[in-house]
Chains A and B, each alone.
Chain A
Amino acid sequence: ETGVTQSPTHLIKTRGQQVTLRCSSQSGHNTVSWYQQALGQGPQFIFQYYREEENGRGNFPPRFSGLQFPNYSSELNVNALELDDSALYLCASSSDRIPGNTIYFGEGSWLTVV
């Protein structure tokens, strides 16, 4: 097991609602990245947080937003949920302090939008 924990594990939301997913990073890791993985596809990079600021974003609309806290944990928020937002959301932690450091993934949060 990695030291990256995500919550909740599974959740069901209604179209138009808002959702918050949480991630606690590996000890000593100061960078958190979020990915969306639709069923049967590879993960897609949503954004990364470094030093509590967004540090790069993939091709996702502004209704996907996030936060990073002083303890390096992070939240992913999605507003105005759409059916296509149904996916596995993966959090990954890493550190710029250790060259070549491994990137650790959490077990993901399954989001179903109905």
Chain B
Amino acid sequence: AQTVTQSQPEMSVQEAETVTLSCTYDTSENNYYLFWYKQPPSRQMILVIRQEAYKQQNATENRFSVNFQKAAKSFSLKISDSQLGDTAMYFCAFMKPSNAGGTSYGKLTFGQGTILTVHP
């Protein structure tokens, strides 16, 4: 079974500064997907960024980037130029690739979450 660990229950950052959220995971799979989701107080789960394990290049989406270290099973999220709207709970999640005869797509294993507060 896969496990995802987020060791930082809470983080805070000043507006316009950079913050990094940590995530480690455990799996015996060689190919898989990793995600960072944002959940604001509205509770809508919003995809921030996605990384495919077979891709060596780290994913980036505007102000969001990841540091994917496959051997270390580490997947951290860096938020640059933090904005007040980034205040939310952030979840790291793992997903196996589709299995033969069916689909594993959509079966996510989440970490415990990190509450990020951006201060003005």
Task: Summarize A's interface: helix, strand, loop or mixed.
Answer: strand
Chain A contacts of B50 at CB under 8 A?
102
Which B positions have Cβ atoms within 8 angstroms of A?
4, 37, 42-47, 50, 52, 91, 98, 102-113
User: Shortest Cβ distance from B3 into chain A, in angstroms?
Assistant: 11
Nearest A-chain residue to B35, judged by Cβ: A103
- The answer on a CB contact under 8 Å between A45 and B43 is no
Return chain A residues, CB-CB under 8 Å to B104: 56
Give Cα A92–Cα B110 distance, bound, in whole angstroms: 14
Contacts of A94 in B (CB 8 A): 105-106
A48 within 8 A of B: yes
Complex Cα spacing A95 to B105, Å: 8
* Contacting pair B108 A43 (CB below 8 A): yes
Q: How far is the CB of A106 from chain B (nearest CB, A)?
A: 8
Chain B contact residues: over half helix, strand or loop, or mixed? loop
| Known A88-B43, A107-B42, A107-B43; contact A101-B105, beta-carbon cutoff 8 A | yes
CB proximity to B under 8 Å, residues A88-107: 88, 90, 92-96, 100-103, 105, 107
Q: Which residue of B lies closest to A100 (CB)?
A: B52
In angstroms, Cα B103 to Cα A2, docked, is 22
Residue of A nearest to B47 (CB): A102
Complex Cα–Cα for A44 and B110 (A): 7
CB of A33 within 8 Å of the partner chain: yes
**A90 close to B45 (CB less than 8 A):** yes
Could you name 23 residue pairs across A and B whose Cβ atoms are closer than 8 Å?
A31-B106, A42-B111, A42-B112, A42-B113, A43-B110, A44-B110, A45-B107, A45-B109, A56-B104, A56-B107, A90-B45, A92-B106, A93-B106, A96-B98, A96-B103, A100-B52, A101-B105, A102-B50, A103-B108, A105-B45, A105-B46, A107-B42, A107-B43
